[in-house]
Amino acid sequence: MAYPKAEKILKNFKRFFMCCIIAAWGLGPEVVHAQHTYINIKDPFIRKVPLAVPEFKSFGTGGQAPGYGATARSILVEGMIFTGYINVLDPAGFQENPAVTGITGGDLHFKKWTADGAELLVTGGIAEQDGAIRLELRLFDPFKERLVLGKVYTGQQSDLRTMVHRFCGEINLYLTGKRGVFGSRIVFVSRVGQNKEIFISDFDGHAPRQETNHKSITLSPCLSWDGKWLAYTSYVNGKPDIFIRNLKTRALTTIAFDGMNITPDWVPGKLELAATLSLDGDQEIYLLSGKGEIISRLTRSWGIDVSPRVSPDGTKIAFVSRRGGTPQIYVKTLATGEVMRVTFQGKYNTSPSWSPLGNQLAYVGVVKNEIDIYVTDFTGAGALRLTREQGDNEDPSWAPDGSLIVFSSTREGSSKIYVMTPRGTDARRLIDLPGEQTDPEWSAGEGID
């Protein structure tokens, strides 16, 4: 399992639809499996691929279908722009209008599209009847003059967003070998009145909803690998304890040893978590079962040990310790017990977050009161600074495909949630809510059965 999160999201998509028919036209399954990796998302000099998305065709019997077509098109356009490596062309200059002339390969004049500068072309057709929607989407390579993939989705109006994002995931899979961010979620902390509560939104900040209502300080949310369990810290019982919520059954487990119980982080693929407890009077990191029983103790050093983050393959734990006199990030290999210090520059490095491949760590460094996000690759080549002179930047967390990093920043005043590429480019605000938002964690989609 080199890449568990991608597998998980793939499973999510498989599970998703109530009544979804998928058909691949023309080209057989080899298209789906021969993932043509056009784009290396780790390439620092990435060139955005120009994509044409002309107006969708309406097969509608009712008058509402064109409206759905426009909605579906804009969801697709926004989704593809969100990836950071697609440039969606302005439809005003297109020589051909497939909404009129037809959306299948036989109807298209590919030379016109290459002349318009499109390296990829998506056509769409939509039919609506009694609230039920049938959406046809096709991806073409105009230079090779061929259909890359085609899908039909059916569902209710309310599923339109999910249908379109599923196709976005297919485009992503074709281009990068991964389904990308589509279907994933962001879990984060938002101020509600004087309190802090946990919220969950779609990957693009859409539809944020309040998940906890403790009317207390609630922090450090983390969703399990399968998206079913939410762990967090709350002061609702007067001191910081860890809570585990089953999002489906709403069942709540409390981990409340003497002292503080903070910073939970799920182990990928298991119902186990790492967390910081101070039951012996000193903070140490422990491995716990989903029921809150201690499985083992992972650190033995006097002073601060906090913020464990389990690596994507589950073999290592990154954490923050003050054992060297200042807060720095360390990595412990669980099999050997070996502990390695990762950060050496600066006097304050905290909040580690593993890249999905486990070969990089994003973290927060404080230098001369400037709080910024850095990335290190363990080679000792020095860290890359991703944010600079734009307020305080904290709490980095990687997208499941590694294409983006979500973080909180005070660049526009009070703390809000933003995304940027792992090179520090294309930073933009993600979530539009009143009050302060902090501590985002990029997480799996809905639970898998």
343 counts as binding other proteins under rule CB under 8 A: no
Exactly one of 438, 440, 441, 443 binds other proteins (CB under 8 A); which one? 438
Q: How far apart are CA 435 and CA 188, in angstroms?
A: 13
Determine the interface stretch with other proteins among 173-181, 292-300, 305-313, 382-390 (rule: CB under 8 A): 305-313
217 counts as binding other proteins under rule CB under 8 A: yes
Query: Which tokens belong to 380?
Result: 């000792």
Q: Which secondary structure element, helix H or strand E, spans residue 57, and what is its range?
A: strand 57-58
373 counts as binding other proteins under rule CB under 8 A: no
Q: Please answer whether residues 188 and 201 qualify as being in contact, where contact means their C-beta atoms are separated by less than 8 angstroms.
A: yes
Q: How far apart are CA 126 and CA 66, in angstroms?
A: 8
Eight-state DSSP code of residue 267: P
364 counts as binding other proteins under rule CB under 8 A: yes
220 counts as binding other proteins under rule CB under 8 A: yes
SS3 state of residue 32: helix
Binding-site residue total for other proteins (CB under 8 A)? Answer: 38
263 counts as binding other proteins under rule CB under 8 A: yes
301 counts as binding other proteins under rule CB under 8 A: no
Across the beta sheet with 209-210, what order do the strands follow? 209-210, 195-202, 185-192, 437-443
Indicate left, alpha or beta for 281 from its phi (over 0: left) and psi (-120 to 50: alpha). left
303 counts as binding other proteins under rule CB under 8 A: yes
CB neighbours of residue 36 within 10 Å: 13
Exactly one of 201, 299, 351, 437 binds other proteins (CB under 8 A); which one? 351
Give Rg (Cα) of the chain. Answer: 23
Exactly one of 98, 208, 221, 240 binds other proteins (CB under 8 A); which one? 240
Residue 244 vs 277, nearer CB to other proteins: 277
- Nearest CA among 54, 52, 24, 9 for reference residue 153: 24
Query: Which tokens belong to 109?
Result: 């004049």
27 counts as binding other proteins under rule CB under 8 A: no
Residue 35 vs 237, nearer CB to other proteins: 237
278 counts as binding other proteins under rule CB under 8 A: yes
Residues 29-58 that bind other proteins (CB under 8 A): none
Q: Please answer whether residues 204 and 430 qualify as being in contact, where contact means their C-beta atoms are separated by less than 8 angstroms.
A: yes
Residue 205 vs 308, nearer CB to other proteins: 308
Exactly one of 369, 380, 381, 389 binds other proteins (CB under 8 A); which one? 369
222 CB-contact burial (10 Å; exposed 0-12 / middle 13-18 / buried 19+): buried
Determine the interface stretch with other proteins among 79-87, 146-154, 238-246, 378-386 (rule: CB under 8 A): 238-246
Contact characters 81-110, other proteins, x per CB under 8 A: ------------------------------
Buried b / exposed e along 399-433 (16+ C-beta atoms within 10 A): bbbbbbbbbbbbbeeebbbbbbbbbbebbeebbeb
Exactly one of 111, 239, 297, 341 binds other proteins (CB under 8 A); which one? 239
Residues 388-417 that bind other proteins (CB under 8 A): 394-395
* CB 275 to other proteins: min, Å: 11
219 counts as binding other proteins under rule CB under 8 A: yes
Q: How far apart are CA 380 and CA 53, in angstroms?
A: 44
Query: Which tokens belong to 143?
Result: 């230079």
Exactly one of 67, 259, 346, 358 binds other proteins (CB under 8 A); which one? 259
Determine the interface stretch with other proteins among 102-110, 145-153, 257-265, 286-294 (rule: CB under 8 A): 257-265
Which residues lie near other proteins (CB under 8 A)?
A: 196, 217, 219-220, 233, 235, 238-240, 259-260, 262-263, 276, 278, 281-283, 303-307, 320, 326-327, 347-348, 350-351, 364, 366, 369, 371, 394-395, 438-439
